[in-house]
Amino acid sequence: MMTDPASASPVVAPSPTSFRVAFVNPPFLPDYSRGQRSPAVTRSGTLYYPIWLAYAAAWARGQGHAILLHDAVAWRRDDAASLDEVCTFKPDVVLVEGATPSIEADLAYAERLKARLPPGAQVFAVGTHVSALPDEALAKAPTLDGVIVGEYEIPLREILRARVAGRPLAGLEGVAVPGHPAGPCREYLTDLDQLPFVSEIYRDFLPIDRYFNPNAHHPMVTILTGRGCPFHCSFCVFPQTLTGHAYRRRSLESVLAEFEWVARHLPQVRGIFIEDDTFTADQPRVREFAQRLRARRLPLTWTANARADVSLETMIAMREAGLRALCVGFESGSQALLDRIGKGISLSTMETFARQARQAGIKIHGCFMVGLPGETKATMQETLQFALRLPLDTAQFYPLMVYPGTRAFREAERAGHLVPKSWREWLSAEGLHNCVVRTGDCGPAALVRFCNFARRRFYLSKSYLWYTLQKVLTDAEERHRILRSARTFLGHLLRDA
């Protein structure tokens, strides 16, 4: 387990042409999960790894640079302690990640850090929000050196090359600077095998036990086997702001080698979460992966994001290879609304998938949202009834969360359905998801009340309580996961009544 970074030394000694690069997940609210698709303090106690920062840190270390990955949220550092730790590292370049609900605080932190560092040090904001609104970010934080647009590695490469050559930053690919827009993003990182294992970065810099996802066995690590998503759901933020829609894959040799590395070097880890937007987009690849993973007989379970069209053959292969659960976006029980958001899947296909997943022995976490374009009280009831008749293990119900850079955000803004006057209003005062949209016949408060009602209907039904009690009494692995999640989730469930 990684020791406190305040006493840690750099992993790689800098060469004459290398730099000291810091990657910072800044403080905000306690347990604020900035790295997830909808950043918030969650009801289930979920805390995501700073995965995009970690992969960029892995790239930089692979290039011979000295790195620091600093997660102030996971280490529970306040603003002063966080600034002290980053400044003690004496970085040449710093990437500070921001997210929509916390962006004012994130940019203010980055400016304070810039003021503390020597004049030659450069500080950049990164993340989905500043990728979508780089000019606004630079206007709010004019002392920063720039904003990275899109994935972090290639713009960071260009920044470091410019430092070596003594060239200005203006016009660099994916780098916006005051007075100059970002140069065109001409390429994505396609050879993902060149990146060192992100699990090594976690081991060396992060408190692994602090990260939690209720759909995976704990402790767990989160990895990517590919980037980008070939589907075009209107609300999904990563493909529309960071990664694009082309699905770029790591080789299976690389993925399997990382599984083996985790089993060997992180013996406390019990689960791996595959965080690709849609790991199952390439089902032949998934089946080959499962076949080869099963042959290794590693002491790990795993979880992945999936689309609700995975074949029974593929699910059986995954289950036999140690798959525990799939996280699936069902979204709505209205076919008209699914078509409108570009989901590209039918209700009957999703129902068949859910039944076959239960047949294959795979747990399904279903994600549902209300407040979609064209939503009515009747379609909200269709969604609830759809969720109740599916054989799901867990479910979440949230109002539609729209973020800058997505089609959903633009549609809500055009229709006059976007309610908040500031980015901070994307969260409640305590950090929970807030409702940011209204529909034709439902205001934000009504959408939140419906989500609370739907959550109670799902989790407090007699059949679900009996099903969960059986898991707690008969399965030690499930008992640990359920009880950890229930510590925060039950309080919110009862309070929201």
Q: What DSSP line would sit under 21-60, residue for residue?
A: EEEEE---STT-BTTSSS-B--TT--B---HHHHHHHHHH
Widest Cα–Cα separation across the chain? 68
Which DSSP letter does residue 342 get?
T
Amino acid symbol at 347: L
Of 47, 109, 117, nearest in space to 78 by CA: 109
Of 312, 347, 310, nearest in space to 331 by CA: 347
Amino acid symbol at 27: P
> Does 280 lie in the same domain as 337?
yes
Judge whether 389 lies within some domain. yes
CATH number for position 290: 3.80.30.20
Q: Structural domain of residue 61, as residue ranges?
A: 16-176
> Does 226 lie in the same domain as 145?
no
Of 126, 150, 176, which marks where a domain is finished? 176
> Does 418 lie in the same domain as 348?
yes
Give ∠ CA 282-284-286 in degrees, rounded to 5: 70
pLDDT tens string, the chain, 497 residues long: the values are: 454 444 332 333 334 479 999 999 999 999 999 999 999 999 889 999 999 999 999 999 999 999 999 999 999 999 999 999 999 999 999 999 999 999 999 999 999 999 999 999 999 999 999 999 999 999 999 999 999 999 999 999 999 999 999 999 999 999 999 999 999 888 899 999 999 999 999 999 999 999 999 999 999 999 999 999 999 999 999 999 999 999 999 999 999 999 999 999 999 999 999 999 999 999 999 999 999 999 999 999 999 999 999 999 999 999 999 999 999 999 999 999 999 999 999 999 999 999 999 999 999 999 999 999 999 999 999 999 999 999 999 999 999 999 999 999 999 999 999 999 999 999 999 999 999 999 988 999 999 999 999 999 999 876 777 666 666 667 766 666 556 555 555 555 556 65
> Does 224 lie in the same domain as 133?
no
State the CB neighbour count (10 A cutoff) for residue 312. Answer: 14
Judge whether 401 lies within some domain. yes
Give the integer Cα–Cα distance in Å for 463 and 482.
17
> Does 259 lie in the same domain as 141?
no
Taking only the tens place, the pLDDT of each residue in 448-495 is 999 999 999 999 876 777 666 666 667 766 666 556 555 555 555 556
> Does 259 lie in the same domain as 153?
no
Judge whether 72 lies within some domain. yes
Q: Which two tokens stand for residue 102?
A: 């916390």
> Does 61 lie in the same domain as 143?
yes
What is the model's pLDDT at position 5?
44
Judge whether 234 lies within some domain. yes
Judge whether 467 lies within some domain. yes
Q: What is the pTM of this model?
A: 0.92
**Structural domains counted in the chain:** 2
Taking only the tens place, the pLDDT of each residue in 409-452 is 999 999 999 999 999 999 999 999 999 999 988 999 999 999 99
How many residues in total does the chain contain? 497
> Does 429 lie in the same domain as 350?
yes
CATH number for position 72: 3.40.50.2300
Judge whether 181 lies within some domain. no
Judge whether 402 lies within some domain. yes
Judge whether 446 lies within some domain. yes
> Does 365 lie in the same domain as 249?
yes
Which DSSP letter does residue 206 get?
S
> Does 266 lie in the same domain as 146?
no
> Does 332 lie in the same domain as 472?
yes
> Does 478 lie in the same domain as 336?
yes
